Amino acid sequence: MPLIKTKDGPLWKRRTLKQSLTRLFWWMVGLAVAAFAWKLISDKTNWFFVQSAPKEAADIGSRMMPPDWSYMDVLWIPVWETINIATLGTLIAMVISIPVAFMAARNTTPHPLVRAFALFITVTSRSVNSLIWALILVFILGPGVLAGTIAIGLRSIGGFSKLLYEAIEEINPVQVEAIEATGASRIQQIIYAIVPQVLPTFVGVGVFRWDINVRGSTILGLVGAGGIGLQLSGSINTLAWTQVSMILLVILLTVIISEWVSAKVRGAII
């Protein structure tokens, strides 16, 4: 923070001239990028359709009212499926992430090459959206909840093992040393010194991930992988708007309840 000497005494400024200019430069770069991105999108947009959007929104909105309450009878099973996809998918991911996380953590990895491989699994799993995983698995395993469950599982491995291996790297090494001093083997050290330290994180992340997965599994049906998304895309395609609003209401409730449950359980653990 420079003081600039003037006739009337020192003047306090937040940044030097050079700092200000550098910042101005980066702001300009950012502005140029934003303008360019906007131009590309605007070129590919049919503004005529955009202008009619408010009218369209009012039209769809009026068609959605009131929600078709009787359709709920059909929706119980898809909701149950959606929750099962999320829960079983999370369980699959939890089981697979344990070895991956121990291979990826710097202090427990058997070899740097193994670590690189584990990190590669982590990144691949996270980069590919669960909907793309579902698309692939529906093709391989056929449409249905199995494809959805495995898609959720594959997508969750990355996020799961990332948080878990970070927790393993941050453990208190003194406890590991203490166990090692008793003559414990490497496996025993992991079980008695590392696992108790990361178990709360493991369960906490599991519940957190479950909440995300409930959100994720509501849309898997769009590509045929089971759950309530199947009804959603069906109703949208047949323009049954009162059913659509009912489904959206159910999705909203499911998401809110799962968020509440997840927050409560995490609150109890931490």
**Residues near other proteins (CB under 8 A):** 14, 30, 33-34, 36-38, 40-42, 44-46, 49-50, 53, 56-57, 60, 80-81, 84, 87-88, 123-124, 126-129, 131-132, 135-136, 139-142, 144-146, 149, 192, 196, 199, 203, 215-216, 218-219, 222-223, 232, 236, 248, 251-252, 255
CA–CA separation, 217 vs 214, rounded Å? 5
- Nearest CA to 244 out of 227, 259, 228 is that of 228
Nearer to other proteins (CB atom), residue 118 or residue 135: 135
CB 103, min distance to other proteins, A: 18
Q: Whose Cβ is closer to other proteins: residue 4's or residue 50's?
A: 50
Kindly give, in sequence order, each residue whose CB lies less than 8 Å from that of residue 97, ignoring residues fewer than 6 positions away: 156, 157, 160, 161, 164
Beta carbon of residue 228, minimum distance to other proteins (angstroms, whole number): 11
Residue with Cβ nearer other proteins (96 or 204): 204
How far is 65 from 248, CA to CA, in rounded Å? 12
Strands (E), the chain: 3-6, 9-12
Phi, psi of 11 (to 5 degrees): -120, 125
Give whichever of 157 and 251 is closer to other proteins, judged by the CB atom.
251
Question: What does the alpha-carbon distance between residue 110 and residue 78 come to, in Å, rounded to a whole number?
Answer: 44
Could you tell me whether strands 3-6 and 9-12 are parallel, antiparallel, or unpaired per DSSP bridges?
antiparallel
Q: Which is nearer to other proteins, 77 or 110 (CB)?
A: 77
Q: How far is the CB of 142 from other proteins (least distance, A)?
A: 4
The C-alpha angle 19, 21, 26, rounded to 5 degrees, equals: 95
44 φ/ψ angles, rounded to the nearest 5 degrees: -95, 5
CB of 174 to other proteins, least distance (A): 18
Alpha carbons within 13 angstroms on the beta-carbon side of residue 10 total: 5
Q: How far is the CB of 132 from other proteins (least distance, A)?
A: 6
Kindly tell me which of 78 and 109 has the beta carbon lying closer to other proteins.
78
Nearer to other proteins, 106 or 110 (CB): 106
Contact residues for 108 (Cβ-Cβ < 8 A; gap 6+) = 102, 168, 190, 194
Q: How far is the CB of 70 from other proteins (least distance, A)?
A: 23
For the CB of residue 146, give the shortest distance to other proteins in the complex, in Å.
Answer: 5
